[in-house]
């Protein structure tokens, strides 16, 4: 397991943008498959975007396609989620997740390490 810390959440107007960051304390994320999930009050945790261990493939939930972009920096220290055209329904706590092994599925059970989350609030 790795210790993950998210940042970059905040309050934004509908149509605006935010960039979330996720870093592993004391190390690189290069050896891990990575993903972003989100959870709104009263709802189950939802897959947002995923990135394979070698950055070969990206995956997005349908509602995020064309609006969100997942990436890793050149040093592979930080994972990002660029969020554009935000909608009120995007309001949730966003979590960074890491998997020690190659990409499996978008299920939360496939990921071993989780950050504490960062709040994203989108106003209408």
Q: What pLDDT is stored for residue 54 in this prediction?
A: 86
Query: Which residue in the block uniquely carries the two structure tokens 């050896």?
Result: 31
Q: What pLDDT is stored for residue 28 in this prediction?
A: 80
Q: Which of 99, 40, 48 is nearest to 69 (CA)?
A: 48
Burial of 89 (0-12, 13-18, 19+ CB in 10 A): exposed
CA quadruple 32, 38, 43, 47: dihedral positive or negative? Answer: negative
- Using CA atoms, how far apart are residues 55 and 68, in angstroms rounded to an integer? 16
Q: What pLDDT is stored for residue 76 in this prediction?
A: 78
pLDDT in tens, the chain (124 residues): 789 999 999 999 999 999 999 998 877 888 899 999 999 999 999 999 999 988 899 999 999 999 999 999 878 789 999 999 999 999 999 999 999 889 899 999 999 999 999 999 999 9
Q: What pLDDT is stored for residue 31 in this prediction?
A: 86
């Amino acid at each position: 397991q790795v210790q993950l810390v998210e940042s970059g959440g905040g309050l934004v107007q509908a149509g605006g943008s935010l960039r979330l960051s996720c870093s592993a304390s004391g190390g690189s994320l290069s050896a891990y498959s990575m993903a972003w999930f989100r959870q709104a009050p009263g709802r189950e945790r939802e897959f947002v975007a995923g990135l394979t261990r070698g950055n070969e493939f990206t995956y997005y939930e349908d509602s995020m396609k064309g609006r969100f972009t997942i990436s890793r920096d050149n040093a592979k220290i930080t994972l990002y989620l660029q969020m554009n055209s935000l909608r009120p329904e995007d309001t949730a706590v966003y979590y960074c997740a890491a998997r020690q092994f190659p990409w499996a599925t978008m299920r939360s059970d496939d990921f071993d390490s989780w950050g504490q989350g960062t709040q994203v609030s989108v106003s209408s």
